[in-house]
Structure 1
Amino acid sequence: MTKTLNRRVLVVDDEPDIRELLELTLIKMGLEVVTAASVGDACRQLSRQPFDLALTDMRLPDGEGLAVVEHIGQAGLDVPVAVITAYGSADNAVAAMKAGAFDYLQKPVSLAQLRTLVQSALALEGRTAGGAVDGTVRLAGESPAMQEVRRLIERLARTQAAVYIHGESGTGKEQAARLIHEQGPRAARPFVPVNCGAIPENLMESEFFGHRKGAFTGADNERDGFFQQANGGTLFLDEVADLPLAMQVKLLRAIQEKRVRKLGGGPEEAVDVRLLCATHHDLAALVDSGAFRQDLYYRLNVIQLTMPPLRELREDIPLFVGRLLERLAGDGARPRLSPDAVKALLGYNYPGNFRELENILERAAALASDGRVDVADLQLSDAACSEGGAEPPVAGGGEGLQEYLDRVERDAIVKALQATRFNRTQAAKLLGVSFRSLRYRLERLGIK
């Protein structure tokens, strides 16, 4: 690491030998170090001067290191904080990450892991919310739900906590994981996606941890596993619920120890990976049924990110459709939607979410006659079309998709406001949306 002046680290530990060891290591990295021996002393130091990083032991004479983490969050200090926990103290590590800790180290502290953690933490400074990729490119949409997803992703990118991304199939879980990686300090390192449901059970250990030459029939060369490939970066476990119980045990140990051993023997290797996982299953229900280990669940589900289904983002459908049609058109003419096709797309429930919308438009563009997409070209499933309610007005000649949707939405909002004598709280309840969502719509549509 290049030595940098004026980078200040707070080290909190009641054991003088540990404080001295950490201080000497950090000074050799070119950092200024301030030490504290208690929670109270740490809080006083934080109020006196700015810090770029804080390292705190979990057990202190006047409380827990968790109190230092909480103090930093409550005071609104932009200071990454890592906790040092006793060996095997998984509950403390998880509690610290939930409280906002950047990462954790286990005793006895590995100086190599300490240096890696410090480099990752200090790499956060100066990163913009967009990171390496503009978040609106991958997860477009201006609905309140999608804005909240992007805000949470920005916060998650600034921590090393494990994230469990939950959502129906096709809601963009891998896109969210990639964005968390690209907006964080590991952006320049590998992002390794793994579909856990696509790996044969007898090959799982080799795929995850690698193997030595001759470890099994066909192992002609030594090979790195997913953990080694993602070292320094992010490992994304998609469909993690499909892992068999035997592999769950081995995965848990790798996460806790931050070390793996290749199949076929040899020394353990230290690995530094940020772990993200996703599934469309209910992991908590699988834990209750015994199909998923509870201890692994708590390790993976430090923070949860839920991806909303497309049927809850109807105001964003015009934007999604427009971008998809532009992409499908390439350098050619963009397909045009008939008024009935627009109406059908807005009334569809999309059980397959974004992936289904993309398939629908790609198929329709191929079937369209003279670049005009009609309802028949969409080939929508009758079972997934909205039922009941008043028919929305049909788009007029030359009216675009966004104009049509705005007109329908404005009419429904005005009627709800009139019915409630312009009580916005009651109007939101009548429309089945949150007050915040209604306020956003009022501003966007210019309704006074």
Structure 2
Amino acid sequence: MSLQTVLVIDDERDIRELLTITLGRMDLQVEAVGTVAEARRALAERSFDLCFTDMRLPDGNGQEIIELIAENSPDTPVAMITAYGNVDAAVNALKAGAFDFVSKPVDIQMLRGLVRTALRLAEEKRDGAAAAKAGDSSERLIGDSPAMQQVRATIGKLARNQAPVYIAGESGVGKELVARLIHEQGPRASGPFVPVNCGAIPSELMESEFFGHRKGSFTGAGADKEGLFQAAQGGTLFLDEVAELPLHMQVKLLRAIQEKAVRPIGGRDEIPVDVRILSATHKNLGQLVEQGQFRQDLFYRINVIELRVPPLRERRGDVPQLAAFILKALAGKSGESIGQLSPAARDALEAYDFPGNVRELENILERAMAMCDGANIDAFDLMLPKRSMRSGSDAAASASGHDAAPAVAPSTTSANGGLDDYISNLERTAIVKALEESRYNKTAAARKLGITFRALRYKLKKLGID
């Protein structure tokens, strides 16, 4: 069996020798050169499984090498060797298509981890495993609209490198799902995927949560605890709602990302970490940078590549397919027959703007399944608010033979919290009375209330009646 080959391009003899020795001990065959011209000749003569290139070379720069390999050998991962702290060079390399970067002086442990990850990626591509995996996991990203086809294609490209990705999109569009797909389709799929909602961690606990702490480092620290970075070792750390990070934490996060190391609270030494950073927020990060609420240097570090996930109103043609998928999932959980949308209900959904996107569609269909008679969902069962319907949508709603849907869905969109509470209390009183009179026979109670059994079950769940 032939050894895997690595091309090293660096004009510093010490670096070439260090990489040659280190990689040789990993049973890799190394060819080391010092100029762009020598690299071009080597690449023309043979193929390589991995390439390391310095940024600055006597007759050019590493960017040329990255572009050359991307054009002629797109399956070959390229890692950029950069000067210590040269973040701009690293970011430019990742944007150009580099797999990852290594800072001088080279950390041998980090280097070995990078090599293993890169070679695993190259092997998956050759075996076709990555393509098969992409086909399986991307089925959860429902929709055949041009916008979603573009998102799937971009996910496939992003999965092949280690560049930090910023996922932009409104609430409910599925940003975490996109992050998971990038992780699952890449060489880190066997490692952990660690999602964290940055807005859900109290400010005073953030450093401990992200970096861990040592026993006795503060009151209540009764034992050593690893942080989120350590938990994501070898995998992906997904920073959801990253805009919620306070400024003091943004500084610490930037250092951890740049140095690829963390120092637990109370610890003396930094711990190397090998994680890929994906982040997301529904807010406009660029605007927050201008307002001084988000650090510009961190913004550029996590926003090497931006992937925008379109809102549901920009891909209305996907709504029927999404609805069918959700209804099938709901039926699977409840054990009941799959709900069927009437033509009028389908038209009403396609006409709706979905300010809450896919998450709102799930809630609407779950409510409709509870309120409809049998498994047939009509437009009236959807209870869509008029104010978020496009022109002509009322006609779609009335096509079912019912009046247009209520302007406000009782359980979610009332502008008056007091009225909501009042109505809920009336419902609760009536339901409890019906249950008591029917000796807690739910079928009989539903009949007494004049609603379906499914509707009663939905209301019991909504009102928290056990």
TM range (shorter): 0.7 to 0.9
Q: 1:395 to 1:123 in 2, by over 3 A?
A: farther
Q: 1:103 to 1:65 in 2, by over 3 A?
A: same
Alignment of 1:152-231 (within 5 A): 152-231=154-233
Determine the C-alpha separation between the residues in 2 that align with 1:32 and 1:287.
46
Residue 35 of structure 2, aligned match among 29, 34, 38: 38
Residue 371 of structure 1, aligned match among 369, 375, 393: 375
AA aligned opposite 2:383:
Q
1:267 Cα deviation from its structure 2 partner: 1.4
Q: Secondary structure at the match of 2:94?
A: helix
Determine the C-alpha separation between the residues in 2 that align with 1:385 and 1:310.
13
Residue 356 of structure 1, aligned match among 341, 357, 360: 360
Residue 27 of structure 1, aligned match among 24, 27, 31: 24
1:290 corresponds in structure 2 to 292
1:96 equivalenced with 2:100 (yes/no): no
Instruction: Give the total of aligned pairs.
Output: 394
Alignment of 1:13-412 (within 5 A): 13-124=10-121, 125-126=123-124, 127-131=129-133, 134-330=136-332, 331-387=335-391
Q: 1:390 to 1:43 in 2, by over 3 A?
A: farther
Determine the C-alpha separation between the residues in 2 that align with 1:391 and 1:45.
68
Q: Which runs of 5+ in 1 are unaligned?
A: 398-448
Q: Secondary structure at the match of 1:134?
A: helix
Q: For residues 41-100 of structure 1, give each alpha carbon's deviation from its aligned partner in whole angstroms, at most 9, with x where no partner exists.
A: 112211211111100111110111111111112335321100010001000000000000
Equivalent pair of 2:345/2:396 in contact (CA under 8 Å): no
Q: For residues 402-436 of structure 1, give each alpha carbon's deviation from its aligned partner in whole angstroms, at most 9, with x where no partner exists.
A: xxxxxxxxxxxxxxxxxxxxxxxxxxxxxxxxxxx
Q: For residues 297-323 of structure 1, give each alpha carbon's deviation from its aligned partner in whole angstroms, at most 9, with x where no partner exists.
A: 010000111001111111111111111
Determine the C-alpha separation between the residues in 2 that align with 1:47 and 1:391.
66
Q: 1:130 to 1:395 in 2, by over 3 A?
A: farther
Determine the C-alpha separation between the residues in 1 that align with 2:132 and 2:313.
26
Equivalent pair of 2:82/2:102 in contact (CA under 8 Å): yes
AA aligned opposite 1:368:
C
Q: For residues 340-378 of structure 1, give each alpha carbon's deviation from its aligned partner in whole angstroms, at most 9, with x where no partner exists.
A: 222211111101000000010011101111222222321
Q: Which moved more, 1:74-83 or 1:364-373?
A: 74-83
Larger radius of gyration: 2
Equivalent pair of 1:339/1:394 in contact (CA under 8 Å): no
Q: For residues 228-251 of structure 1, give each alpha carbon's deviation from its aligned partner in whole angstroms, at most 9, with x where no partner exists.
A: 100111000000000000000000
1:395 Cα deviation from its structure 2 partner: 8.4
Determine the C-alpha separation between the residues in 1 that align with 2:183 and 2:286.
25
Equivalent pair of 2:344/2:397 in contact (CA under 8 Å): no
Q: For residues 156-204 of structure 1, give each alpha carbon's deviation from its aligned partner in whole angstroms, at most 9, with x where no partner exists.
A: 1110000000001111100000011011111111110000000100000
2:434 corresponds in structure 1 to none
Q: Which moved more, 1:74-83 or 1:280-289?
A: 74-83
Determine the C-alpha separation between the residues in 2 that align with 1:108 and 1:138.
43
Equivalent pair of 1:131/1:184 in contact (CA under 8 Å): no
1:337 Cα deviation from its structure 2 partner: 2.1
Identity %: 58
1:132 Cα deviation from its structure 2 partner: 7.0
2:448 corresponds in structure 1 to none
Q: 1:31 to 1:395 in 2, by over 3 A?
A: farther
Q: 1:218 to 1:144 in 2, by over 3 A?
A: same
Determine the C-alpha separation between the residues in 1 that align with 2:284 and 2:203.
22
Q: Secondary structure at the match of 2:130?
A: coil
Q: Which moved more, 1:176-185 or 1:30-39?
A: 30-39
AA aligned opposite 1:365:
M
Q: Which moved more, 1:327-336 or 1:156-165?
A: 327-336
Equivalent pair of 1:133/1:182 in contact (CA under 8 Å): no
Q: Which runs of 5+ in 2 are unaligned?
A: 402-466
Q: 1:393 to 1:75 in 2, by over 3 A?
A: farther
